[in-house]
Amino acid sequence: MNVVVVGAGIAGLSCARVLADAGVPVRVLERGRVVGGRLASRRYGGRYADIGAAYLVADDPGFAAVVERWRARGLTRPWTDTFAVHPGSPARGPLRWAAPGGLRSLAEDLAAGLDVTLEHEIQALPREADAVVLAMPGPQALRLGPPAAVADAARRQEWQPVITAVLAYPERAWDDFHGAFVNDHPVLATVCDDGDRRGDRAPVLVAHSTAALAREHLADPGAAGPVLSAAVGELLGIAARPEVHVHRWTYAQPAPVAGDYATDGRVWLAGDAFGKPRVQTAWLSGRAVAEAVLQSSER
Ligand SMILES: Cc1cc2nc3c(=O)[nH]c(=O)nc-3n(C[C@H](O)[C@H](O)[C@H](O)COP(=O)(O)OP(=O)(O)OC[C@H]3O[C@@H](n4cnc5c(N)ncnc54)[C@H](O)[C@@H]3O)c2cc1C
């Protein structure tokens, strides 16, 4: 039995981790230069900012235990349960977890000791593997020509794009807040204080666009930067001009579908579409596939 996992996001890494721990030979192939997928931190001027997932929520006992082990090792920190709401007053929700080293450091930790090949884009299903796990958004999996039931499941997924703007200011020039949900705004969906989240108090905000703005700027994401920067300045009353970096997520947020994964023969589809669009869902989906692959190999 040997398994190829395509995609080194959280779903692929959690799947590979379970298989490797069970003694199954497993290779992870990732097209990017780093692991993590949408659990992404990028370095600007020597400091990491979180440009994909903004925080973790851990209400599954298994995932909560992992997050707690990361906390014990200094990799995660409880951030806040209170976000500002615009317009409106602050709202309490679940505890949100952040990572002092950037959220991608958690993917690096999951990947440690696994056989991961980076900068390796798969164009078609690997032939040699007994099981192939496509741990990625459905539209990306479809490009690899998966068998019918997996293709159908992938086609049923609906995705929204997001453009992220990292706004680096000369100094912290806003009233303290952790993060903010921005409702009914034409361009802004959320703003997080990255210095507060990471705990280093750097004067960096990270804004996520609405799907509408992202769709308008998919071909030229750079043009969304000034729009997001101006909207954040107006929302928080910041006069200073930040340095702006943008990142386009064509497949950022799925609408939830039922089940933990899809499968057809030796091919499996995992990812965060199988539940609320969260890191925890991707982690659970990857594990569920690994457990099903292990069971099928015992038959
Ligand atoms: C802007 C934004 C904000 C978010 N905010 C939050 C949040 O606050 N909290 C939260 O819990 N979640 C949040 N999420 C969602 C969270 O990031 C995802 O749920 C999770 O990271 C998905 O993991 P995944 O492994 O399913 O997919 P991905 O992370 O997308 O991993 C898929 C991987 O497959 C690789 N790949 C694709 N095609 C190929 C190929 N052909 N060959 C090789 N490799 C390939 C990709 O490069 C990628 O690394 C957010 C996401 C975005 C984009």
Given ligand 1 and candidates 38, 66, 142, which is best to mutate, with the most ligand atoms within 8 Å of its CB?
38
User: Per-residue pLDDT for the chain (299 aa), expressed as one digit of tens each?
Assistant: 999 999 999 999 999 999 999 999 999 999 999 999 999 999 998 999 999 999 999 999 999 999 999 999 999 999 999 999 999 999 999 999 999 999 999 999 999 999 999 999 999 999 989 999 999 999 999 999 999 999 999 999 999 999 999 999 999 999 999 999 999 999 999 999 999 999 999 999 999 999 999 999 999 999 999 999 999 999 999 999 999 999 999 999 999 999 999 999 999 999 999 999 999 999 999 999 999 999 998 86
pLDDT of residue 239: 96
Six-digit token string for 184: 């009914």
Q: Are 256 and 138 in contact (CB under 8 A)?
A: no
Nearest CA to ligand 1 atom 33: 7
Atom of ligand 1 at shortest range from CA of 7: 34
Q: What pTM did the predictor assign?
A: 0.98
pLDDT of residue 86: 96
Distance 268 CA to ligand 1 centre (A): 17
Question: From CA 160, how far away is CA 167, in angstroms rounded?
Answer: 22
Which residues touch 202 (CB under 8 Å, ≥6 apart)?
A: 47, 168, 194, 195
Nearest CA to ligand 1 atom 12: 278
Per CATH, which fold does 55-101+159-254 belong to?
A: Polyamine Oxidase; Chain A, domain 2 (3.90.660)
Distance 252 CA to ligand 1 centre (A): 7
What lines the ligand 1 site, CB under 6 Å?
6-12, 29-32, 37-39, 52-57, 121-122, 135-137, 140, 162, 164, 208, 249, 252, 271-272, 277-279, 282
The answer to whether 3-53+103-156+256-298 and 55-101+159-254 have equal CATH topology is no
How are the residues of the chain apportioned to helix, strand and coil, as percentages rounded to the nearest 5? 30, 30, 40
Q: What is the per-residue pLDDT across 177-226, written as a single tens digit (0 to 9) for each?
A: 999 999 999 999 999 999 999 999 999 999 999 999 999 999 999 999 99
Query: Helices (DSSP H) in the chain: which residue ranges?
Result: 10-21, 61-72, 104-111, 138-142, 148-156, 194-198, 211-216, 224-236, 279-298
CATH number of 3-53+103-156+256-298: 3.50.50.60
Structural domain boundaries in the chain? 3-53+103-156+256-298, 55-101+159-254
Q: Residue 285 to residues 63, 98, 221, 235: CA-CA distances in angstroms?
A: 11, 21, 30, 37
* DSSP one-letter string for 76-126: -EEEEEEEEEESS--EEEEEEEE-TT-THHHHHHHHTTSEEE-S----S--
Q: Are 261 and 176 in contact (CB under 8 A)?
A: no
Given ligand 1 and candidates 136, 159, 210, 287, which is best to mutate, with the most ligand atoms within 8 Å of its CB?
136
pLDDT of residue 164: 98
Q: What is the per-residue pLDDT across 14-51, written as a single tens digit (0 to 9) for each?
A: 999 999 999 999 999 999 999 999 999 999 989 999 99
Atom of ligand 1 at shortest range from CA of 272: 26
pLDDT of residue 95: 98
Q: Are 241 and 230 in contact (CB under 8 A)?
A: no
By C-alpha distance, which of 170, 220, 212 is closest to 195? 170
Distance 159 CA to ligand 1 centre (A): 12
Which residues touch 214 (CB under 8 Å, ≥6 apart)?
A: 160, 161, 162, 163, 221, 224, 248, 249, 252
Q: Are 206 and 166 in contact (CB under 8 A)?
A: yes
How many C-beta atoms lie closer than 10 Å to residue 276's C-beta? Answer: 12
Q: State the first-to-last Cα distance of the chain, in angstroms, to the nearest integer.
A: 12
Distance 137 CA to ligand 1 centre (A): 8
Distance 39 CA to ligand 1 centre (A): 6
Question: From CA 211, how far away is CA 98, in angstroms rounded?
Answer: 24
